[in-house]
A = this chain, B = another copy of it.
Amino acid sequence: MTSPCLNVGLIGLGTVGGGVARILTEHAERITRRAGRQIAIRKVAVRDLSKTRVVNLPDGTLTTSIDDVINDPEIEVVLQLMGGISPARETMQKLLQAGKHVVTANKALLCEHGSELFQLATEHDCCIAYEAAVAGGIPIISVINQSMAANQITSIEAILNGTSNFILTEMLARNSSYETILSLAQERGYAEADPTMDIDGTDAAQKLVLLTQLAFGTKVRLDDFPRQGITTLELSDLKYADELGYTVKLLAVTRLIARRLELHVQPTLVRHERALAQIHGPYNMIALVGDAVGTTHYSGQGAGQMPTASAVVADLIDVAVGRAQLTFRQLPLGSRATALPVVPPEDTIQRYYLRFNALDRPHVFADITDILGRHGISLASVIQHEAPELDDDATDRELVVPIVVMTHRTTEGRIRAAEAELHNLRSLRPPVVRMSISDA
């Protein structure tokens, strides 16, 4: 036993912080046994002292001053559970400068400023542990860092955002519109009041950036790869995909192809029979391929109070035991030597699903296929169901007919160029809906 007691500071006692405090206080005996020493919550920085807390902490533990945590020389580890970039970034810098190990769930901060913070941690002989930043209760960070260490990872395909997965699942299950299910997700606590980052693919992309850096030693920025959310999808798209044998998932993908990395976050058609297609509601899954191990799958709750708290406390125990410090030293965070280059977004190659809202006029189908053909995009299949007969009282309206096309493999650049032309076609009503198709 290294020490009689490990003193811990918490910054933030919200959803996750509250969960962490519950585990540490309600299961202290279990945690002590596994950490090899007692873990004591010494200071907790909160915004509002008067708020009622679910956890009983000794008098004087709560403070409104983050500096009380930073400047406490007895505190060795800080659970930094503040979201957003600022002041989380400055707080993290001060904590590391004060020589404290940091456990965090802040993916946005690590995605944006990870390199700088990892560097700072190394300089001050501290570690940053962030299992909770990606996929909540699924231990994908330690799987990549430790368990797959013998492998060259060759592919990551993942459902990393529970909110959008819940929406996609329930739209089809309840035969409901995107808007209806988004409201339901908000009622159930699966979507925040402002769900932008979840549904536009940013949250999944930030997590993919962290996984990609660990798996391939490559620092990627959000702008380095195509990113598309689920906001433009309609129920009909999920139904067409279903008819074609696919389930639609917001998939975050990094693939190693010819010593370069292809990344994207896009709504993707996944074959019904694949494990990824069978992850429903707010769950996450990561399909990881390694050159020795083959394909492995990991799934569980990707968010929520207790799954995330479980990951934070696992990291804390790792620090207490001393493992986290050893692991941090071996992470491929700084080295440029082994970094693999990233394929430019316009050169990434995929198959695509496209849905057009065509006015029921002569030659519209020829117009579409002409534009696609001129951009070198060839078609694998087409769905156009017979248009319904118009009611008498609807004859003054123009009938919009959906046309669904599946392309052969082509580049993102060609698709974008074709889309730009398609947007100018008078015989189409916007939007052109685009999804990726997983070949696997």
Contact = CB atoms under 8 A, between A and B. Distances in A.
Nearest to A36: B330
Contact of A314 (B149, B152, B307): B149
A326 B327 CA distance: 12
A362 to B, nearest CB: 47
B299 A275 contact: yes
A292 B23 contact: yes
Interface in A304-332: 304, 306-307, 309-314, 317-318, 321-323, 326-327, 329-330, 332
A148 interface: yes
Interface string A392-427: 000000000000000000000000000000000000
A139 interface: yes
Interface stretch (A26-34, A188-196, A239-247): A26-34
A381 interface: no
B150 A139 contact: no
A143 interface: yes
Contact of A146 (B33, B296, B318): B318
A345 to B, nearest CB: 28
Given A137-B294, A146-B323, A34 B314 contact: no
Interface string A123-137: 000000001000001
A294 B301 contact: yes
A300 interface: yes
Interface in A286-302: 290, 292-301
A231 interface: no
A301 B306 CA distance: 30
Q: How many copies does the complex hold?
A: 2
Interface residues of A, number: 55
Best-buried of A298, A312, A329, A338 by chain B (most CB within 10 Å): A298
Nearest to A279: B275
A146 B142 contact: yes
B19 A292 contact: yes
A27 B152 contact: yes
A3 to B, nearest CB: 14
A137 B310 contact: no
A180 interface: no
A317 B23 CA distance: 31
Given A149-B34, A307-B294, A310-B151, A327 B323 contact: yes
A138 interface: yes
A175 interface: no
A326 B332 contact: no
